[in-house]
Amino acid sequence: MLVFAQITLGAQAIPMLSHADPVPGGGTLTELRVSQPIFFASAAPLGGRLQLHAMLDFEGVTMANGQLSTGVFGEGFNDKRHPHTYGHELIASLLDPVRLPGVHWSLTAGKGFAPFGSDDPMNRPALVFPVNHHWSQILERAVAIAAVRRGAFTLEAGLFNGDEPEYPSQWPNWSRFGDSWSARALVHPSAWLELQGSYARVASPEHRPGAGLTHDKASVSARFEGTLAAGDAYLMAEWAHNSEEGFFAYSTALVEMQLAHRAHRGYLRFEHTDRPEETRLTQDAFRSVRPHFENSSLGTSRWNTITGGYGLAPDLSLPVRLEAIVEGSYLHVAAVAGSGIFDPLTLWGRNDLWLASVAVRMQMGARVHRMGRYGVAAGDGHHTSPAAHGH
């Protein structure tokens, strides 16, 4: 760990070779991309009462046209993961601005995650993001959050702008700050178990000027992380629902697990998720028309996926921690009856799809903190990033 004048620094990058069979339009595709090229810093001045987090993400350079990720969608990308914005997190939290008896509380402001849903996939075991990323997290917004913790219970409430980024260098639409809100409750019955429930009302996320539908979102999850006889174990289960003013509704359920022992870790994820299918660009079948309107919808697809992987992170006594990872996904996609004219056979030629990846995770300095958990909601540090185990 690198610490200079109360500043903790870290960096990460994941060169990743992926092969998808098939891709939209038919055929196969193999791509090499550098995923998650991030630099981050944290500081806790004023005796820890002020917490600062900054993360720069350069995916706009290393994967400007997206990363091959069958089933993933969001921000105008389909079957490729969109690059994150360069300023991924710029957050300041003040703990206990005024001392209150029996509770701890915090105020947070900056650019980052709204208090909603489960952990960002960058903090979780798999390389490839789940289909439900945009149902289960609300990221890269201008946020103001108040949180209060008493014993095992934490409550958060936040205001933010509804609009999603359209490209990596774009900042939130400041004129829309406060048009959306969310609230989250966290319960820690023990040091190794976390229960989460949250609700959000997001105004026109897919149409930046604000003329799109409002999304009502709900999420519940349970997360276990502890040490068993066989090694360090992690288990997370979540359910989320997204309704676009009652016109379109999408649900998701996901269970993922990991067991890590010394330099080895193995993980598995099961997912059942509905996602929208939109009119795609003629010149690029991985992109959909933006700005998005409800009449751009072709229907709803339903994804049942299994993703598994293995990571090996030997201690090489180098400044850079290295982990070799192999990962594979089987995905079955079908059209939801009555939802529209979408037909998977027209787009892919079949319903059963495959995605395989090999990668090397490279890390220096500190490990990535739990993004989206700010102030008193960051807890006592028991829960960390399972993807960081062993390296």
Would you call 388 exposed, middle or buried from its count of C-beta atoms within 10 A (0-12, 13-18, 19+)?
buried
Mean pLDDT calculated for residue range 185-195? 97
pLDDT over 70, % of the chain:
94
- Residue 154 identity: T
C-alpha–C-alpha distance, residues 116 and 74, integer Å: 17
In order of their start, the domains of the chain are 2-388 (2.40.160.10)
Mean pLDDT calculated for residue range 364-374? 94
292 confidence band (pLDDT: 50, 70, 90): low
Spatial CA neighbour of 118 closest among 217, 268, 237, 275: 237
pLDDT at residue 91 tops 70: yes
Would you state the pLDDT for residue 272? 98
Would you state the pLDDT for residue 389? 52
Asked if 43 and 24 touch (Cβ cutoff 8 Å), the reply is no
C-alpha–C-alpha distance, residues 376 and 362, integer Å: 30
DSSP letter assigned to residue 125 = S
Q: What is the pLDDT of residues 229-249, one digit of tens each?
A: 999 999 999 999 999 998 999
**Cα 84 vs. chain centroid, distance in angstroms?**
10
Mean pLDDT calculated for residue range 207-231? 95
